[in-house]
């Protein structure tokens, strides 16, 4: 699915509800070489969010997979623009499909352990063209 705004046309890579300590892959791979992505969040009660997420890119070729370093993102009530460029060495070799993965990290308090959190969702959109 795509949407268009003043910035251009955005292709959705899917929406995921991140889980604590478990990597989940977005259902659609980013096939464009443009590094710009937009992350949209949805939550029923922003005051109860006590977590953040790790986002990483995974490249898959044949039966092999390799991931880049993960980046921390915080859920917020407005879109977030980020740059995830295609690895130049892989681009030279014709590998440009980026598979995004996300996992939730709960906040930790030394007195109570993991801080209670609420589910929230995350959509990644790639800028086309």
Domain containing residue 30: CATH number: 2.60.120
90-118 residue pLDDT tens: 999 999 999 999 999 999 989 988 898 99
d(CA 71, CA 78): 18
Record the pTM: 0.93
- Which range marks the domain in which residue 93 is found? 2-128
Q: Which two tokens stand for residue 128?
A: 């086309």
d(CA 85, CA 107): 29
Among 92, 88, 53, smallest CA distance to 71 is for: 53
Which residues neighbour 83 within 8 Å (Cβ) at sequence distance 6 or greater? 35, 36, 37
Number of domains within the chain:
1
């Amino acid at each position: 699915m795509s949407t268009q705004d003043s910035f251009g046309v955005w292709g959705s890579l899917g929406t995921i509800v991140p889980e604590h300590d478990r990597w989940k892959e977005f259902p659609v791979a980013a096939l464009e070489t443009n590094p710009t992505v937009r992350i949209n969040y949805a939550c029923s009660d922003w005051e109860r969010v006590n977590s953040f997420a790790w986002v990483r890119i995974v490249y898959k070729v044949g039966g092999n997979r390799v991931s880049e370093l993960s980046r921390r993102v915080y859920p917020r009530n407005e879109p977030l623009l980020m740059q995830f460029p295609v690895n130049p060495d892989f681009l030279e070799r014709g590998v440009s499909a980026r598979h995004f993965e996300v996992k939730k990290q709960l906040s930790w308090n030394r007195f109570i352990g993991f801080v209670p959190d609420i589910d929230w969702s995350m959509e990644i959109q790639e800028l086309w063209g």
